[in-house]
Amino acid sequence: MYPGHWARTEPDQPAVVMSDTGEALTYAELEERSTRLSRLLHDRGLRRGDTVAVIAENGPRCFEAYWAALRGGLYITAINHHLKPAEIAYIVGDCAAKALVVSAGKAEQALAIADRTPTVVCRLAFGGPVDGHEDYETALATAEPVPLPDNRVGNDMLYSSGTTGVPKGVRPPLPDRRVDEWGDPYVAVFGKMYGFDRDTVYLCPAPLYHAAPLRFGGFVHALGGTVVVMPAFEPEAALAAIERHRITHSQWVPTMFVRMLKLPREQRTAHDLTSHRLAIHAAAPCSVEVKNAMMSWWGPILHEYYSSTEGNGVTFVGPEEWLAKPGTVGTAGLGVLHICDDEGLELPAGGIGSVYFERDRLPFTYHNDPAKTAAAQHPDHPLWTTTGDVGRVDEDGSLFLTDRKAFTIISGGVNIYPQEIENVLTLHPKVFDIAVIGVPDEEMGEQVKAVVQAAPGVVTGPELAAELLDHVRDRIAHFKAPRSVDFVTELPRTPTGKLQKTKLRAQYTRPQ
């Protein structure tokens, strides 16, 4: 299914509703507007396999662009609008976007990248004027609401930074099927697992530039439900949205659970949550304590899955299974699980190693990075792929994750990559050596810490820490910047100069 089916059978059904204002987009409107946009992009020269990028806050236009890309055989790249202009320009250039859809609220970013994004031939702005960009509504009105003859489906191409700090485009293949044909394996798997249907009212409290919020919105639309979008997550506003919109399904990251649990009791109990029958969580590890507390509050409605932007496989665990095996992320629902040692040998149940999923085709490549793609494939089984996570599988096939990929920091469900921050500080004149690590944080899961060996003769202390933090924030997005700086006399390195991050992190994670 796709929105066109529901536009014919349930034209007035809301496809998207904003949680705060109630602004709604019906299926009839979503169908017409996404059709017009796909036609407009085609008229401007975009063809199957080209890319349209979006820089915007959460809102209905994001889904218009999403479905326009899918029905036009294009890739859609939703970009984190909190990034610095240079970071945004890199992504637009790397994905070779030919069209750019921006909100007026992000005019500063759009203007800052205009001269650095020569591949873009069509720039559209909604919500107000942006210099050098066509008005979105005016442009849409000029396009015919007639589907393209070749409506083979497109896909998303989202960016996830690597441990080198350079963003990587995760490029899945374009399916050779029409947008109006049933056949998306993820819609089938997730839809069946979570019972998405015409009566689903799904709350999205997270940014639509992330993989799960964008994709799950698409899943719900494919199956005829309503996506209620929060402009940004606020703990009490989320509870109020569940009550106001009679939410049936929702999706969260563990940090959101923590923030809601920290609300005063009178706020936690002020809203009617009886419509809420299924809460999904993913993106970061959830502690047993937090999950137990949420189940005590909301009841046994928490469902967890483990996957990745790469989409190479999925595991699922429901509340009953998790209560029987606390800490598991479930059994495979898409792909076959394999745990392998560093040599690629498959380990028996209980063995700890790299987590691979086996599929019948290669589910993704890293755009413009064949070496990175090859590194994600098993040396002897190229259709087994890994994103670098480490774990073990028990005798029943339940997966338990035991480590992060490389030393990625996951803070509030967002991946932060230390190397990018280290690169910013390495050449600072007052820094001799630098390491960036994730340390435990009760609310965010992890927080970013910079551990600095100062240059000889430099006085360390709060003033230097503030100077270094300002230096980072001036150059990369603030959410990536360290929350704190520690000074040490020497960082642990091997005789060959390799930083021993495991040893360093142990100083912050070992029991006191």
* Average predicted confidence (pLDDT) for the chain: 92
The angle that helices 418-426 and 462-473 make with each other, rounded to 10 degrees, is 110
Q: What is the mean pLDDT of residues 415-432?
A: 84
pLDDT at 162: 43
Could you tell me what percent of the chain has a pLDDT over 90?
A: 77
How far is the C-alpha of 187 from the C-alpha of 418, rounded, in Å? 34
Q: Which of 84-88, 276-280, 491-495 has the highest mean pLDDT?
A: 276-280
Domain 409-509, CATH homologous superfamily name and number: ANL, C-terminal domain (3.30.300.30)
Q: Residue 329: what pLDDT?
A: 95
Contacts of 76 (CB under 8 A, 6+ apart): 51, 52, 53, 54, 65, 66, 69, 70, 154, 155, 156, 157
The Cβ of residue 480 has, within 10 Å, a number of other Cβ atoms equal to 27
pLDDT at 244 over 70: yes
Task: Give the lowest-confidence range in 220-229, 259-268, 278-287, 397-406.
Answer: 397-406
Three-state SS string over 280-307 comes to EECCCCCCHHHHHHHHHHHCCCEEEEEC
pLDDT tens figures, 289-343:
789 999 999 999 999 999 999 999 999 999 999 999 999 999 999 999 999 998 9
Is residue 164's pLDDT more than 70? no
* pLDDT, position 363: 94
Identify the CA nearest to 462 among candidates 441, 479, 446, 485. 485
pLDDT surpasses 70 at 212? yes
**pLDDT tens digits for range 40-93:** 999 999 999 999 999 999 999 999 999 999 999 999 999 999 889 999 999 999
The two domains 329-406 and 409-509 share their CATH topology (first three levels equal): no
Structure confidence at residue 495 (pLDDT): 47
CA separation for the pair 407, 502 (Å, rounded): 9
**Distance between CA atoms of 315 and 331, rounded to whole angstroms?**
5
The pLDDT confidence band at residue 510, using thresholds 50, 70 and 90, is: low
What's the predicted TM-score (pTM) here?
Answer: 0.83
Side by side, which strands form the sheet with 365-366? 158-161, 167-171, 365-366
CA distance 87 to 66: 22
Distance CA 407, CA 385 (A): 19
Q: Is 367 helix (H, G, I), strand (E, B) or coil?
A: coil
Instruction: Please name every residue paired with 416 in a beta bridge, in sequence order, or none if there are none.
Output: 409
| Structure-token match 């009105």, residue found | 141
Residue 150 CA from chain centroid, whole number: 30
CATH number of 3-222: 3.40.50.980
Res. 287: pLDDT tops 80: no
CATH number for the 329-406 domain, one of 2.30.38.10, 3.40.190.170, 3.30.420.10, 3.20.20.60?
A: 2.30.38.10
pLDDT on residue 182: 67
Q: What is the mean pLDDT of residues 500-510?
A: 81
> What spatial distance separates the first Cα and last Cα of the chain, rounded to whole Å?
55
Q: Are 177 and 153 a contacting pair, CB within 8 Å?
A: yes
Residue spans of the domains in the chain: they are 3-222, 329-406, 409-509
Buried/exposed 380-404: b ≥16 CB within 10 Å, e otherwise: eeebbbbbbbebbbeeeebbbbeeb
